[in-house]
Amino acid sequence: MGGVISHTLVSSSQDLLWRSVFRVPPDRLKGDPDVIRELEHSLIFRRDPRVVRVVFMAAPHRGSPLADSFVGFVGNAITRLEPISERGYSQLANENPEAMIPEAAIFYRGRFSAVRTLSPRDSALIALSKLPIAVPYHGVIGQLYSGPKERGSDGVVPYWSSHLDGAESELIVRSGHEVFAKPEAVREIIRILHLEAGASKGSILRPSLASSNSTKRCPKRRRSGQSPLDFRAKRLCRSFFDCI
């Protein structure tokens, strides 16, 4: 889910996500104005210019089949959202059936949850996966069993969902969905941080990180024998994890 949210930080939707659900603009919908505004805010957004590079790890860009399985059904039943999201979207679907794309009208009926938004049947999720990404991006993908990566899966997210064309790099790790904890994935993150540290031309942090409100401090002393680039990358890594 975090990878899907990250995608919204590095892409601008214009009206593409909205048109994947509705045939008409927001001001022509019937229903609770607060729900309409909330949905408009969710589907129409601009990228955050402070984000300069992104690494997607086991990201379900096109959803997960588990969301439509019995496991997903149980998860949908026990998870909770604020009322405006949990029931508001289905009320809009019921009040505006002719204003919605047919597939979306069916999908948005019933109780809504974070689990349900990861269904491969969610037209807005599929539209999001197609949005151009405005910064360099990388993929780290888990694969439980040997075999062609195209048919692989980490047990939760299949390769066809995690893969994005155009990535600067893509690493396949023998792993389940917890790929972020694997040493190969950690080394890849450090490699990418080295890359970004070098691109920053000597700056320890991008402005977005340097201006963080975090009260934590990174060590300023470089150990003997440690290259300046390695020192910058590790400081960037520590600062990154301090800020999230």
Of 64, 65, 72, 116, nearest to 90 (Cα)? Answer: 116
Indicate the range of 10-24, 69-83, 194-208 predicted with least confidence. 194-208
**pLDDT score recorded for residue 81:** 66
- Calpha distance 104→19 (Å, rounded): 10
DSSP string, 125-166: HHHHHTSPPSS-EEEEEEESSSS-GGG-B-SSSBHHHH--TT
**pLDDT score recorded for residue 219:** 45
Q: Is the pLDDT of residue 203 over 80?
A: no
Share of the chain above pLDDT 90, in %: 55
C-alpha dist (Å) from residue 212 to 196, 208, 217: 18, 7, 11
Q: Is the pLDDT of residue 147 over 90?
A: yes
- Calpha distance 123→136 (Å, rounded): 25
**pLDDT score recorded for residue 121:** 92
Which comes out higher in pLDDT, residue 86 or 23?
Answer: 23
Indicate the pLDDT class of residue 200, thresholds 50, 70 and 90.
Answer: low
Q: What's the token pair of residue 83?
A: 């009322």
Q: Residue 142 phi/psi, 5° resolution?
A: -85, 150
Cβ proximity of 152 and 144 under 8 Å: yes
Write the single-letter amino acid at 198: G
Per-residue pLDDT tens digits for 80-134: 666 666 567 788 888 888 999 988 888 887 777 778 889 999 999 999 999 999 9
